[in-house]
């Protein structure tokens, strides 16, 4: 029998001490958080395995998860058809989120070039020219505006093109692209792929799980190498390409004597305008007149990660902490845009008297105040938010209780900065990374990304997994809420090298980098794809992404976006392990297809484990398998022997 809710200790729900404190306080205050709702709402055992279909009104049809082939749906759909269709629809939804966000960034870029929007500008013209050149747009001797207009026209195809290949496939390693062409999965444009995915998974259309999987991959690739990649590149061009910056994180960044404003969501334009508004002298004076020492702008979730990387803005926590932070009573306004915004925030904000403000017409929430961010006049929205926050500060009614936890870390490792960091300004290159992988000091590379989830102890798997990976000499690249989990644990600084294996620690010391590199928001996973492409291009580690000693993981995922990301990594050639649950019926042919056969066809494959140490074991075993296939396993053995020898010598000294 389930324990009564009040007996489930906060410490059993999260390893984030600040969040645990706020869960306890919320219970004392009689406020319900999503942790409580997750305990009360048991997951449906059939839905959990993705074994039900409600694609038409002859159903819903439920399969037997213990004996998946003992029945079919009313239309005759098999469990493989049902589970693969559901998976495809998750990928379509995740892809639509990233690509709609990317298209909004591209439209902003167009309006900036056209002069329709003057509050934003081109912050990184060098990146603009580099991206244009990589897409075969002539840059030499041309005005920046003309190149930018051509770049806009080219990148728009990412979304709207009905035939042909999306532009960014020019950055895919040739062998990987050849595989996609042979399989017929090179994306045309995201709108076309999402439309076809939804069509093919409707009742009575595609009923062959292998054929459905091809469209799943094509749709996901339209995200990773399309919508998400364009979003990252355009955000860098408009707001600046990140470079390392030291930042404070965790709820202790809130300040009792200041007006605290939290921005949560995914679109950097809201936060960029907030940064300007909170520095406005009139507004600062108003805050001081209200008795505040200043205005404290703080990020959360992924737009917070973008502003952290670009402006060194403090960050209060990841997805699982967004309700909890309101319980401090110290938040004078929480403003949100799109994605991962829990509807439950509204009630919590209401209880603590915090103005809860939506800013994007796509994402309104009942009971929230809506102030639309118009990109040609963003300050109208963001100044008003600041004014509302000042007013709430002046009239704070609830006692303030801020957890005293902060951690310092280094963030903002863009692909470009890693290039510079490894090779120096005159010979920026990934060559030193490849060399250190070949000589065995670095065993391989892992991307550890994704959400937190109230059904999984917050941050626990992220931190345990990453610690285990670096201990095994695996360099870790991070994005999204996972990056914030490690940041709060104090492991995003150079000091984390003390936990790394001897080879990785040596490289970190030589290059002056931490063993865990934070790359930004969840849309910035495209930076990992570009890094993987570069590793292939530099040479010595095979001919395609699938040859690399690399693996990916989202240990505490929750969003459909994570499934889209996982599938674009798998289709690109990466072994990708998910944790805590997976939308799959065990013992089905579709499971075998995703978890085994895709690799045999030359792609990556999916993996699953509940325990983070087991996740690490799966990833390290895969990395070792790839090292053996590349013939570089011997070099690593030699390095290990050297270390063992050294230890023996130390012991005998």
Which residue lies nearer to ligand SF4 by CB, 59 or 428?
Answer: 59
CB 275 within 8 A of CB 382: no
CB of 196 or CB of 560, closer to ligand MSK: 560
In angstroms, give the least distance from the CB of 60 to ligand SF4.
Answer: 5
Written as one string, the DSSP assignment of 573-598 is T-EEEEES--S--TT-HHHHIIIIIH
Question: What values do phi and psi take at 632, rounded to 5?
Answer: -110, 10
Q: How many CA atoms lie within 13 A of 387 on its CB side?
A: 8
Cα distance between residue 312 and residue 181, in whole Å: 42
The single residue among 73, 94, 268, 409 that binds ligand SF4, judged by CB under 6 A, is 73
What the block records as the tokens of 262 is 């939290």
Q: Name which of residues 75 to 94 contact ligand SF4 (CB under 6 A).
A: 75, 77, 82
Residues between 52 and 71 that touch ligand SF4 (CB under 6 A): 53-56, 58-61
| 198-217 residues near ligand SF4, rule: CB under 6 A | 203
Of 31 and 340, which has the nearer Cβ to ligand MSK? Answer: 340
Q: Which of 364, 362, 328, 319 is closest to 348 using CA atoms?
A: 328
Among the residue ranges 237-245, 456-464, 558-566, 596-604, the one whose residues contact ligand MSK (CB under 6 A): 558-566
Contact pick of 35, 180, 319, 413 for ligand MSK (by CB under 6 A)? 319
Considering the complex, state which of residue 448 and residue 469 has its C-beta at the smaller distance from ligand MSK: 448
Alpha carbon separation from 447 to 257, 279, 540, 551 (Å, rounded):
39, 36, 20, 6
Q: Which stretch binds ligand MSK (CB under 6 A): 162-170, 171-179, 492-500, 557-565?
A: 557-565
- Of the pair 451, 550, the CB lying nearest ligand MSK is at 451
Site membership for ligand MSK, residue 451 (CB under 6 A) = yes
Q: Are 227 and 242 in contact (CB under 8 A)?
A: no
DSSP string of 138-199?
A: --TTS-HHHHHHHHHHHHHHHHH--SS--GGGGGS-HHHHHHHHHHT-----HHHHHHHHHH
Binding positions for ligand MSK, 256-295, rule CB under 6 A: 266
Residues contacting ligand SF4: total by CB under 6 A: 14
| Residues listed for the chain | 653
Distance, CA of 648 to CA of 652 (rounded, Å):
6
Residue placing its CB nearer to ligand MSK in the complex, 88 or 454 = 454
282's enclosing H/E stretch is: helix 281-289
Looking at the DSSP bridge assignments, the partners of residue 538 are: none
Q: Does 450 bind ligand MSK (CB under 6 A)?
A: yes
Q: Which of residues 476 and 505 has its CB atom nearest to ligand MSK in the complex? A: 476
Binding mask 19-58 for ligand SF4 (x = CB under 6 A): ----------------------------------xxxx-x
Shortest CB 346 distance to ligand MSK, Å: 18
Q: Does 521 bind ligand MSK (CB under 6 A)?
A: yes
- Sign of the four-CA dihedral 24, 356, 93, 306: negative
Which residue among 10, 92, 247, 301 contacts ligand MSK (CB under 6 A)? 301
Q: Is 522 in the site for ligand MSK (CB under 6 A)?
A: yes
- Contact between 239 and ligand MSK by CB under 6 A: the answer reads no
Interacting residues of 53 by C-beta distance below 8 A, sequence separation 6+: 59, 60, 61, 73, 77, 82, 85, 86
Contact residues: ligand SF4, CB under 6 A: 53-56, 58-61, 73-75, 77, 82, 203
Contact residues: ligand MSK, CB under 6 A: 266, 301-302, 318-319, 340, 450-451, 480-481, 521-522, 559, 561-562
């Amino acid at each position: 029998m389930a324990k009564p809710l009040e007996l489930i200790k906060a410490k059993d729900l999260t390893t984030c001490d600040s969040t645990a404190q706020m869960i306890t306080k919320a219970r004392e205050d009689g406020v319900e958080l999503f942790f409580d709702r997750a305990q009360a709402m048991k997951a449906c055992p059939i839905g959990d395995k993705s074994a039900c279909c409600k694609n038409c009104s002859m159903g819903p049809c439920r399969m037997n998860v213990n004996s998946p082939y003992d029945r079919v749906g009313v239309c005759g759909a098999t469990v493989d058809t049902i589970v693969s269709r559901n998976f495809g629809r998750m990928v379509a939804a995740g892809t639509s989120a990233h690509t709609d966000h990317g298209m909004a960034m591209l439209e902003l870029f167009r309006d900036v070039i056209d002069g329709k929007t003057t509050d934003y500008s081109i912050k990184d013209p060098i990146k603009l020219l580099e991206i244009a050149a990589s897409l075969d747009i002539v840059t030499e001797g041309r005005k920046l505006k003309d190149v930018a207009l051509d770049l806009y026209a080219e990148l728009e195809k990412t979304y709207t093109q009905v035939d042909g290949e999306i532009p960014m496939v020019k950055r895919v390693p040739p062998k990987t692209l050849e595989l996609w062409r042979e399989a017929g999965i090179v994306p045309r444009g995201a709108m076309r792929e999402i439309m076809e995915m939804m069509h093919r998974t409707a009742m009575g259309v595609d009923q062959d799980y292998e054929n459905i999987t091809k469209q799943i991959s094509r749709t996901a690739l339209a995200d990773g190498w399309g919508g998400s990649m364009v979003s990252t590149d355009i955000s860098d061009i408009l707001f600046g390409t990140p470079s390392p910056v030291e930042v404070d994180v965790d709820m202790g960044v809130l300040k009792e004597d200041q007006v605290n404003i939290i921005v949560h969501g995914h679109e950097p334009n809201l936060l960029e305008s907030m940064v300007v508004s909170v520095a406005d002298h009139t507004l600062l004076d108003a805050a001081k007149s209200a008795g505040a020492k200043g205005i404290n702008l703080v990020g959360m979730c992924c737009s917070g990660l973008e502003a952290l990387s670009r402006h060194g803005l403090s960050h209060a926590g990841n997805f699982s902490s967004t309700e909890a932070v309101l319980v401090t009573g110290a938040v004078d306004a929480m403003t949100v845009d799109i994605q991962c915004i829990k509807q439950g925030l509204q009630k919590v904000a209401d209880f603590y008297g915090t103005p809860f403000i939506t800013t994007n017409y796509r994402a309104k929430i009942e009971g929230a105040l809506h102030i639309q961010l118009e990109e040609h006049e963003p300050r109208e929205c963001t100044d008003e938010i600041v004014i509302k926050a000042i007013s709430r500060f002046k009239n704070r009614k609830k006692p303030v209780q801020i957890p005293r936890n902060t951690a310092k870390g280094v963030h903002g490792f863009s692909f470009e900065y890693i290039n510079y960091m490894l090779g120096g300004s005159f010979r920026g290159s990934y060559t030193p990374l490849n060399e250190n992988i070949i000589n065995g000091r670095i065993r391989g590379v892992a991307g550890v990304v994704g959400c937190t989830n109230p059904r999984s102890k917050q941050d626990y798997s992220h931190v345990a997994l990453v610690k285990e990976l670096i201990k095994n000499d695996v360099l870790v690249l991070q994005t999204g809420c996972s990056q914030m989990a490690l940041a709060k644990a104090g492991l995003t600084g150079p000091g984390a090298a003390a936990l790394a294996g001897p080879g990785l620690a040596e490289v970190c010391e030589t290059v002056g980098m931490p063993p865990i590199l934070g790359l930004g928001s969840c849309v910035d996973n495209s930076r990992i794809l570009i890094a993987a492409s570069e590793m292939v291009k530099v040479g010595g580690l095979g001919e395609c992404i699938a040859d690399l000693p690399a693996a990916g993981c989202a240990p505490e995922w929750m969003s459909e976006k994570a499934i889209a990301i996982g599938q674009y990594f798998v289709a690109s050639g990466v072994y990708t392990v998910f944790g805590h649950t997976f939308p799959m019926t065990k013992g089905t042919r579709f499971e075998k297809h995703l978890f085994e056969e895709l690799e045999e066809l030359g792609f990556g494959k999916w993996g699953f484990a509940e325990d983070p140490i087991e996740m690490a074991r799966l990833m390290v075993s895969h990395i070792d398998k790839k090292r053996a296939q590349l013939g570089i396993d011997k070099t690593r053995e030699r390095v290990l022997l050297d270390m063992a020898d050294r230890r023996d010598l130390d012991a005998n000294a």
